[in-house]
Every structure is written in structure tokens, then in C-alpha cells.
Amino acid sequence: MIVAAFPGQGSQTPGFLAPWLELDGAAARLERYAEAAELDLVAAGTEWDADRIRDTAVAQPLIVAASLVAWHALSPTERASFAGVAGHSVGEIAALVAAGVISDIDGMRLVGARGRAMADAAALEQTGMSAVIGGREPDVLDAIEAAGLSPANHNGGGQIVAAGASAGLAALAENAPRGARVIALQVAGAFHTPYMAPAAASLQTAVDAISSVSDPQLPLWTNSDGSVVSSGQRALELIVHQVQNPVRWDLCMTDFAERGIAALVEFTPAGALTGLAKRGLRGVPAVALKTPDDLATARDQLAATRD
């Protein structure tokens, strides 16, 4: 059993898309995606600097587009070999596409709308996010609450992301829980908290505009509670719910483990979820598709499962 995992915001780096453009059909695919997302994806993924691609309205469609380019680099047979799909935060839109719930073009329209709506919401107040790594979970949650923040991402592997007002994040950094480190994240808002409530209406409008929705063709885990969602309509409802509620990647990994996952393959821009898997899914191989050179390792894992 191998799970396909799609990363969330913050995993992008300048120029990371360049090697993927060398694949046959990738440039043409990205042109179609760029039109749907209303963003120059090729320039964003090859030329723009770190500050420019940190913009929420840029980062979200760029990450999902890159994940889908890597997904389509595998053959239909290879893609069908996965036992299920899951995405972290905005990566859930790539997972919806991979599971066959919506088309890739509808997915890119949706993520373009999501990125713009969340960027607009983030601009209303000075907010941000910080990762709290280590420490006892009850102590970490108490410290987050004491600073007037929310636990936005329960990532597993000893990592919880706090989100909220900039002053609260500074207070948390100055009073880190015992045994924990607080690391400011390069994102522009308090995602997955009530600060994102203004984005929900715009996102719902984008969801309502999708004309063709199917039930998942592969098991699809939700960040809402780590369960497998069997209804395409329900999966889209949770995409809207997700923007102002916590990401429970820890519960996704718990369910992976309970179902006996054999390996995890993280699609580009990969690294964050494989890092969490090393701590939260100890002993489970995790493949990070950072460049096309890594496709061979993913194929080997899939072939071993089929054999």
C-alpha cells in the first residue's frame, strides 16, 4: 500500500520547476494550467525570487500545478497503483484531482481562486504562523493558547503550527514551551484559523462553479479528521471548511499507519511531508519527488508493491 502525498504552502523554492519543464508535454500542460489559475506559472517557477513566490496568490497555484505535472509524469497504470491520495492544506486540491473528483483544469481554477481569496483575507490584519517543534503536546497547546494563538496545523512527528496575530507569535517565540523550538514560517497570514473566514465565501463561489464532480476513484484522506472521504461533493465541502479550520495531518498519518502503509511518495515540491513521515511513520519508506530524476525511485516502489 503506497500513498501519494501532495505538499502545502511553504514547500516552494526559487527555480524548483525548471527541471520538470524538460519533460515532454510539461510546458504545454503548464500553459493550460496558467490560463486556468490566471498566473504565469512558468515564470513563477523558474524566474521569480523567494519573496515573489511567497505571495499566497502565487504560491498556492504554483505548488498545485507542480504537483500535478509530477503526477502526470507517471503513466496511468502507475498512478492507478497508488492505494490512496492525501494532500496537506492546499495540497488537498491536487489530491482531489489525482483521485478523479475534479479535472485538473477545474483544480487549477479552484486553487487560483483559493490563493487570491486567502491573500486578500491575510491582508486585512498583521498575522502569521510559526512552527513549534518538540516539547510535550499539552505544554505546546497551552503555550499557544496563552499567546492568544490557534493551533493551525497538527503535523505529527512532534510539530504543531501556531497561527494568529504577529504580537502573539512574538510572545510565543519569547516564551517557547520547555524542550521546544519556535520557528517563524515564511507565509503571509494566519491560515486555517478564523482570520481566514473572509476567504470562505469566495472559495464557495469557486466550488459552486465546478460543473463536473465525481466520487473519488482512489481512497482520499481529508485533513479535517484524517478519515477517508467517499463523496466528491463532501470532499469539496471540506475544501471550503479547511481554510479556517486546523489541518490534521497527524490524523492522516495515524490512519496511514493503521492501514499498514508500505511507503509514501511525496510529489513536487517535495520534502516537507517526507520529513514528517520520517518522524511520524517510522520505518516507512518515503520518496520525495524533487526532480524528474526521482521518478525512477517512485516507480521502483510502485513496482515492488505490484509484484
Mean pLDDT, to the nearest integer, of 73-96? 95
CA neighbor of 198 nearest in space, from 259, 262, 114, 269: 114
For the chain, what is the mean pLDDT? Answer: 94
- Angle between helical axes of 104-122 and 91-98 (0-180°, round to 10): 170
Kindly report the backbone phi and psi dihedral angles of residue 233, in degrees, each rounded to the nearest multiple of 5, phi listed first.
-65, -40
Give me the amino acid identity at 95: A
For residue 32, what pLDDT is reported? 97
Which pLDDT tens digit goes with each residue over 269-285?
999 999 999 888 888 99
Please, what is the Cα angle at 131 between 50 and 289, to 5 degrees? 55
Percent of residues, the chain, with pLDDT higher than 90: 90
pLDDT reading at 304 higher than 90: no
Which pLDDT tens digit goes with each residue over 217-253?
999 999 999 999 999 999 999 999 999 999 999 999 9
Who's near 283: CB < 8 A, 6+ residues apart?
none
* Cis before 269? omega within 30: yes
Q: How far apart are CA 187 and CA 10, in angstroms?
A: 7
Mean pLDDT, to the nearest integer, of 172-192? 92
For residue 301, what pLDDT is reported? 83
Domain(s) labelled CATH 3.30.70.250 in the chain stretch across 127-184
Domain(s) labelled CATH 3.40.366.10 in the chain stretch across 2-122+193-306
Which pLDDT tens digit goes with each residue over 102-128?
999 999 999 999 999 999 999 999 999
Listed as own residue / partner, the contacts of 250-254 with beta carbons closer than 8 Å and 24 or more positions apart are: 250/154, 250/155, 250/156, 250/157, 250/226, 250/280, 251/154, 251/225, 251/226, 251/227, 252/86, 252/221, 252/222, 252/223, 252/226, 253/156, 253/157, 253/226, 253/277, 253/280, 253/281, 254/156, 254/226
Q: Any idea which residues carry the catalytic annotation?
A: 89, 192
DSSP-derived secondary structure for 18-79? GGGGGSTTHHHHHHHHHHHHTS-HHHHHHT--HHHHHSHHHHHHHHHHHHHHHHHTS-HHHH
**127-184: CATH number:** 3.30.70.250
Enclosing H/E stretch for 152: strand 150-156
For residue 188, what pLDDT is reported? 80
Give me the amino acid identity at 110: L
Mean pLDDT, to the nearest integer, of 7-26? 94
Mean pLDDT, to the nearest integer, of 61-87? 96
For residue 306, what pLDDT is reported? 62
Which pLDDT tens digit goes with each residue over 134-173?
999 999 999 999 999 999 999 998 899 999 999 999 999 9
For residue 4, what pLDDT is reported? 97
Give me the amino acid identity at 6: F
pLDDT reading at 174 higher than 80: yes
For residue 186, what pLDDT is reported? 79
Q: Using an 8 Å Cβ cutoff, are 16 and 83 in contact?
A: no
CA 158 centroid distance within chain = 18
Write out the CATH class of domain 2-122+193-306. alpha beta
Mean pLDDT, to the nearest integer, of 85-114? 98
User: Which of the two residues, 278 and 214, has the higher pLDDT score?
Assistant: 214
Which pLDDT tens digit goes with each residue over 232-241?
999 999 999 9
CA neighbor of 38 nearest in space, from 105, 119, 120: 105
Query: pLDDT grade, residue 307 (50/70/90)?
Result: low
pLDDT reading at 179 higher than 70: yes
Q: Using an 8 Å Cβ cutoff, are 66 and 250 in contact?
A: no
